[in-house]
Amino acid sequence: MVAQLATAQMPKWAEKAKKAVFSIVTYDKDNQIKGTGNGFYIDANGTALSDYSLFEGAQRAVIINADGKQLDVTSINGANSMYDIIKFNTPVEKKHTNLTLATQPAKVGEIVYLLPYSTQKAATVQSGRVNAVDSIGNNSFYYTLEMKTGEKLVSCPIMNAAGEVLGMIQKNADNESAESYAIGASYGAALSINALSMNDGSLNKIGIKKALPETEEQAVVLLYMSANQMDVASYRTLLDDFIQQYPNNYEGYIRRANLYIYSDNKDNYKLADNDLEKAIETNANKGETCYQVAKAIYSYQLSKEGQDSYEGWSFERALSLVQDAIKNDAQPLYIQLEGDIYFAMGKYSEAFGSYEKVNQSSIADASTFYSAAKTKQLIEGSDINEVIALMDSAIVKLKKPYFSDAAPYFYARAGILTQAKKFREAVKDYNTFHEAISGNVTALFYYEREQAEMQCRMYQQGLDDINKAVEMEPENLDFLLEKGSVHLRVSQLDEAIATFNKVLAKDSSLAIAYRMLGYCQALQKKNKEACANFAKAKELGDTVVDQLIEKYCQ
């Protein structure tokens, strides 16, 4: 015990190795010191290990190396809270020293050395013996050491006789214990960031920037997953890092351009345009890049809705780019965008031509047939039955049972069927829509379904629907007028008169309400009251009422 607790004779490698060990200071969100500790470099790229608990809740961190120089922690490269270990990076100094990872684990009974942080020339090295070696998988190990350590030695490296780092000292529940524990350095070296790290609770508790995944494919996936989870500033930083690390991948340029475009800062438009051009310049897949740039410009133009836009970002430019993409590779997705751009430009015949091609391709689905139907409907002289046929094709693509995602198609077809005077078919679609969204409809829906129901003599259903519409929006005079008209249609004159009186109580300037009220009174043989209301309607500018005056008031 005396021997193991005593200061060991300094090994030959210790003088150089001690320069790889440093002190760490972490800061909280208020830039107040959160904690201090130790760490050490494990490679020539500035990669280092320390204890996770020192970084938990930190917004920034610095190291003070053996030469007394302060360096920022630039990124977190991986963390595991259970084993209390973290991997991170700092800038690399010219005289950078790092420890070499041991290729073989220590053996029970082997003498090991603890290398503390020191700015002094002489390094005080403590020695001890390995009492146990436990495997924790993936060629990683956990050591029990016959060595007394305290809080000031946490996260210092444990070395073998050859000067290779075996592990990192961990916090001990009892500072007076004769035993200490170390997590294998190879375990820390294997920590990494991947596409799923966005959901890692341990990493999310650290405010310091996270490194990109080590593979380009994983980095791209991380961009996708982070887009809606990061704030704008953090996502911009992630994109900047991605572009720096993968300068030939168009994803970073396209995404950063979109960030600039929707920043509400016109000064950023030039930066966005530069990124879009850079994406086309750097990516070998010209078809995909031209498509992505065209989509970015198209989306921007849609958002402007006729307002002044950045010079050069026009539908025409977007169309030219997507047509270049199609020439390069006639992907159905590119042709779909071509149709969308034509549609936005009001060139419906051209748009329909593009949508027809898409509907003959492998990506044809309900939405593509709906686009074609919507476009066909806007082409002057189109046969309404052809529009209905396209909507039929859209609905055929839907899977049963129908849920909310299918509902809009039935609602759209119901409107088209109503326009085609196919009222019973329209009512069926309205009913399917109602069922698909579990009855969560607006007053307008009941009003529209009532219109179709009345046309095919479904009077009770129509009356029920208009009553629901009025119940939901009692101040809507259009609904009240329609309710009165329905009561009149089914010869419920007292209810109709009461409804028209409600309308006039809310707005006494509606000529149509006086005319309809007068007509109900005329049918009840109350010509005096009827003619007075006809006269009021005429006074307010109603021209239709002249025929009623001629019939009932001569």
CA dihedral of 368, 370, 375, 377, whole degrees rounded to 10: 160
* Tokens found for residue 337: 């965008």
Query: Strand runs (DSSP E) across 65-104, as ranges?
Result: 70-72, 75-80, 85-89
Q: Check pLDDT > 90 for residue 534.
A: yes
Summarize the confidence of residues 65-91 as an average pLDDT: 94
- Residue 4, pLDDT above cutoff 50: no
What does the pLDDT average to over 410-416? 97
Residue 279 has pLDDT above 70, yes or no: yes
Instruction: Output the pLDDT for position 2.
Output: 40
Q: Taking the mean position of all CA atoms in its chain, how far away is CA 293?
A: 19
User: What gap in Å lies between CA 87 and CA 185, rounded to an integer?
Assistant: 10
Percent of the chain surpassing pLDDT 70:
97
pLDDT attached to residue 518: 95
Give the Å distances, CA to CA, from 199 to 17, 42, 193, 219, 229.
37, 27, 11, 15, 10
DSSP per-residue string spanning 443-461 = HHHHHHHHHHHHHTT-HHH
90 pLDDT more than 60: yes
Lowest mean pLDDT among 217-231, 326-340, 368-382: 217-231
Angle 511-512-513 from CA coordinates, rounded to 5°: 90
Q: Which residues of 434-458 are buried (b: 16+ CB within 10 A; e: fewer)?
A: bebbeeebebebbbbbbbbbbbbeb
Nearest to 477 by CA among 508, 518, 445, 451: 508
pTM of the model: 0.74
For 18-44, how does the pLDDT look when each residue is reduced to its tens digit (9 = 90+)? 999 999 999 999 999 999 999 999 999
Distance from C-alpha of 406 to C-alpha of 384, rounded to nearest angstrom: 22
Q: What is the average per-residue pLDDT within 324-328?
A: 94
Summarised one tens digit per residue, pLDDT across range 111-143 is 999 999 876 555 578 999 999 999 998 889 999
Where are the domain boundaries for CATH 2.40.10.120 in the chain? 2-189
If one compares 261 and 450, the residue with the highest pLDDT of the two is 450
Bridge partners of 49, per DSSP, are: 40, 87
Measured CA to CA in angstroms, residue 61 lies from 24, 37, 45, 72 at distances of 7, 11, 18, 6
Residue 121: per-residue pLDDT:
58
pLDDT in tens, 182-207: 999 999 999 999 888 888 889 999 99
Looking at residue 430, its pLDDT comes to: 98
User: What stretch(es) of the chain map to CATH 1.25.40.10?
Assistant: 213-329
Q: Are 242 and 219 in contact (CB under 8 A)?
A: yes
Q: What is the pLDDT of residues 139-184, one digit of tens each?
A: 899 999 999 998 899 999 999 999 999 999 999 877 778 899 999 9
Average pLDDT over the chain, rounded to whole?
Answer: 92
Find the mean pLDDT for residues 59-72.
94
Confidence (pLDDT) at 306: 64
* 386 band by pLDDT with thresholds 50, 70 and 90: very high
Q: What is the length of the chain? A: 554
Q: 213-329, superfamily in CATH?
A: Tetratricopeptide repeat domain (1.25.40.10)
- Whether 5 has a pLDDT exceeding 50, the answer reads no
Q: What does the pLDDT read at residue 9?
A: 64
Tell me which residue of 172, 144, 187 sits closest to 49, measured CA to CA.
Answer: 187
Residue 430 backbone phi and psi in degrees, to 5: -60, -40
Q: Which H or E run includes 61? A: strand 60-64
Query: Architecture of domain 2-189 in CATH?
Result: Beta Barrel (2.40)
Q: Can you tell me the distance from the alpha carbon of 468 to that of 434, in angstroms, rounded to the nearest whole number? A: 14
SS3 186: helix
Cα 13 to chain center, whole Å? 52
Note the helical H segments in 143-229. Answer: 185-189, 201-204, 216-226
- Token reading at 547: 């025929």
pLDDT tens per residue, range 486-511: 999 999 999 999 999 999 999 999 99
pLDDT bin (cut points 50, 70, 90) of residue 3 is very low
Query: Which residues are within 8 A (CB) of 156 and not within 5 positions of it... i.e. 6 or more apart?
Result: 21, 38, 40, 114, 115, 116, 117, 168, 169
SS3 320: helix
pLDDT of residue 482: 96
CA distances to 95, 257, 479 from 23, rounded to whole Å, are 17, 40, 75
Q: CA-CA distance, 351 to 382, in Å (whole number)?
A: 14
Q: Are 414 and 429 in contact (CB under 8 A)?
A: yes
